[in-house]
């Protein structure tokens, strides 16, 4: 139901036209009596809505008008609050929801700042790296990977000692390791038994 | 992931597998550094044997070629070249693991 206005019928015989509390309405009773007329269509419409009634939360004197006259001429203004059953939307905590979004945005901003900073460092390291590496066929992916490795390990590892063929293979491997979701499944398949066997053999070789 | 507990378990299993892989690289690197050709050969053979081409044929092919190159370099008395290959690959896996964990915890935090 949207905003609108409907005529109200007030039982004016029970209304004060002066007195405290501003309403100036009550006469013999403590409260004013308001009757809301409903047509059949209104009843059907209201039954299908969540509204259960209305509350008059106050009334205002219309400036410049006669207090009695405003009752006669219909210029009395009464704010109306609709009483209705709580809807789910009323229980939704928009403030908390907003705070969660703001917190998530802060995390994203922080991640983005770190990525940007890392990318700048990678570019700088690429620029400083031995140009011969690029002549050897290293791609941007492998250079980025190498630089990322450098940054992650916290040091400058210096120029690589690899030749063109190996450099190309490392570049492709780096590209696949960093850019695909199947990398671990391709190589991280050693069983604990296989590793233990190798460790034992290694220990024997060292001792012999 | 829909189930954070399942995701955590998968991450733990994957992490254990990666730790074994990194340990295997370490054994190979140490063997190469100390001239233990037999251990190096076994390590490289295990790396090749445990490659799964079905997961990523391109990566499996390149890794196999790199292990062969490392083996030949060691045989040709070029341990620095073999070390460079193995150290670089190990570094790639470490970096990828760190990125993976960072992404996981940023999503599941």
Q: What is the per-residue pLDDT across A35-46, written as a single tens digit (0 to 9) for each?
A: 555 666 666 666
**Which range among A31-40, A106-115, B75-84 shows the weakest confidence by mean pLDDT?**
A31-40
Tokens of A44: 């059907």
Q: Where are the domains of chain A?
A: 9-91, 94-183
Q: How confident is the model at residue A64 (pLDDT cuts 50, 70, 90)?
A: low
Q: What is the per-residue pLDDT across A67-82, written as a single tens digit (0 to 9) for each?
A: 566 566 666 666 665 5
Question: Which residues 6+ apart lie within 8 Å of A150 measured at CB?
Answer: A125, A156, A157
Q: Say if residue A30's pLDDT is above 50.
A: no
Q: How confident is the model at residue A106 (pLDDT cuts 50, 70, 90)?
A: confident
CATH for the B4-108 domain, from 3.30.70, 1.20.120, 1.20.1300, 1.10.150: 1.20.120
Q: Does A65 touch chain B (CB under 8 A)?
A: no
**DSSP character for B50?**
T
Q: What are phi and psi of A57, to 5 degrees?
A: -90, 0
Written as one string, the DSSP assignment of A42-64 is HHHHHHTSSEEEEEE---B--TT
More confident residue, A173 or A8: A173
The arithmetic mean of pLDDT across residues A57-65, rounded, is 58
Q: What percent of chain A has pLDDT over 90?
A: 5
Q: What is the per-residue pLDDT across B17-68, written as a single tens digit (0 to 9) for each?
A: 999 999 999 999 999 999 999 999 999 999 999 999 999 999 999 999 999 9
CB–CB contact B60 A185 (8 Å): no
Q: What is the ipTM of this complex?
A: 0.85
Q: Where are the domains of chain B?
A: 4-108
CB–CB contact B93 A177 (8 Å): yes
Cα(B80)–Cα(B88) distance, integer angstroms: 12
B91 chain-A contacts, CB cut-off 8 A: 146, 149, 153
CB–CB contact A161 B84 (8 Å): yes
Q: Say if residue A19's pLDDT is above 50.
A: no
Please say whether the beta carbons of A174 and A142 come within 8 A: yes
Please say whether the beta carbons of A189 and B104 come within 8 A: no
Q: Say if residue A51's pLDDT is above 50.
A: yes
More confident residue, A6 or B78: B78
**Longest alpha-carbon distance in chain A:** 117
CB–CB contact A198 B20 (8 Å): no
Alpha helices in B1-109 (DSSP H): 4-33, 37-49, 57-75, 79-108
Decide: residue A52, CB within 10 A, 0-12 exposed, 13-18 middle, 19+ buried.
exposed
CB–CB contact A205 B38 (8 Å): yes
Tokens of A35: 């009757």
A152 chain-B contacts, CB cut-off 8 A: 94-95, 98
Residue A174, min C-alpha distance to chain B (Å)? 7
Instruction: Give the pLDDT of residue B18.
Output: 92
Cα(A202)–Cα(B33) distance, integer angstroms: 13
**DSSP character for A9?**
E
Cα(B57)–Cα(A187) distance, integer angstroms: 11
Question: Which residues 6+ apart lie within 8 Å of A196 measured at CB?
Answer: none
Of B43, B56, B106, the CB nearest to A176: B56
Query: Which whole-number Å values give the CA distances from A30 to A33, A51, B11, B78, in the listed order?
Result: 9, 26, 72, 105
CB–CB contacts below 8 A, A to B: 143
Instruction: Give the pLDDT of residue A110.
Output: 74
Q: Say if residue A107's pLDDT is above 70.
A: yes
């Amino acid at each position: 139901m949207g905003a609108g206005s409907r005529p109200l019928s007030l039982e004016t015989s029970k209304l004060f036209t002066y007195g405290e509390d501003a309403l100036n309405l009550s006469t013999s009773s403590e409260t004013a009596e308001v009757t809301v007329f409903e047509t059949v269509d209104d009843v059907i419409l209201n039954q299908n809505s969540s509204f259960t009634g209305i509350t008059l939360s106050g009334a205002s004197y219309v400036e410049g008008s006669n207090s009695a006259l405003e009752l006669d001429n219909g210029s009395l203004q009464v704010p109306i609050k609709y009483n209705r059953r709580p809807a789910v939307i009323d229980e939704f905590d928009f403030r908390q929801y907003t705070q969660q979004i703001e917190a998530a945005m802060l995390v994203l901003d922080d991640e983005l700042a770190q990525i940007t900073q890392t990318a700048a460092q990678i570019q700088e390291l690429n620029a400083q790296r031995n140009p011969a590496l690029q002549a050897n066929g290293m791609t941007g992916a492998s250079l980025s990977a190498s630089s990322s490795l450098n940054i992650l390990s916290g040091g400058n590892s210096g120029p690589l000692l690899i030749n063109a063929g190996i450099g190309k293979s490392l570049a492709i491997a780096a590209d696949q390791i960093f850019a695909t979701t199947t990398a671990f499944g391709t190589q991280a398949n050693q069983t604990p038994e296989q590793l233990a066997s190798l460790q034992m053999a290694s220990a024997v070789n060292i001792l012999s | 992931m829909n189930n954070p507990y399942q995701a955590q378990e998968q991450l733990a299993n994957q992490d254990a597998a990666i730790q074994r892989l990194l340990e295997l690289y370490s054994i190979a690197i140490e063997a190469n550094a100390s001239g233990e050709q037999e251990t190096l050969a076994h390590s490289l053979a295990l790396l090749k044997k445990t490659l799964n081409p079905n997961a990523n044929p391109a990566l499996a092919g390149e890794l196999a070629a790199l292990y062969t190159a490392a083996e030949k370099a060691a045989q040709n008395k070029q341990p620095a070249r073999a070390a460079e290959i193995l150290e670089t690959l190990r570094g790639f896996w470490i970096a990828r693991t760190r990125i993976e964990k960072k992404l996981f915890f940023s999503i599941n935090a």
